[in-house]
Amino acid sequence: MGQNNRPKRTYEETHKTKEERSAEIKNLLKKLSDLEITMKTPGMIEFLKQSKLFVDEAVFWTGNIPLKGTHRVLYGFLTNKRGIVCDVTLKYVKEED
């Protein structure tokens, strides 16, 4: 009943700008490089593709990418909604021989 009295939000108010998305990705890549996960690590190329798509076209992405040779899986969450922070988590996975 009282929903009609709420002010309407525009797209710009609820979604991140390209500069904000770019800053978040740079921050995530810096944190990964601090953990010595380089861009040459197998699997990082896929994450870089998803990151570029997210920055350029504001495409939401969530998923996991195995990082071979590191016994880790990268869980990523990239969202365009303002107020929700993009996140990357590395989890240990025991590789079977």
What are the tens digits of pLDDT across the range 39-73?
A: 888 889 999 999 999 999 999 999 999 988 888 99
More confident residue, 80 or 4: 80
Q: Is the pLDDT of residue 13 over 80?
A: no
Domain that holds residue 45: 12-92
Q: What is the pLDDT, as a whole number, of residue 79?
A: 94
In angstroms, the CA 32 to CA 27 distance is 9
Asked, for residue 34, whether it belongs to a domain, the answer is: yes
pTM: predicted TM-score of the whole model, two decimal places? 0.81
Residue 34 pLDDT grade (very low, low, confident, very high; cuts 50, 70, 90): very high
Mean pLDDT score across all residues of the chain: 88
Asked, for residue 7, whether it belongs to a domain, the answer is: no
Domain count, the chain: 1
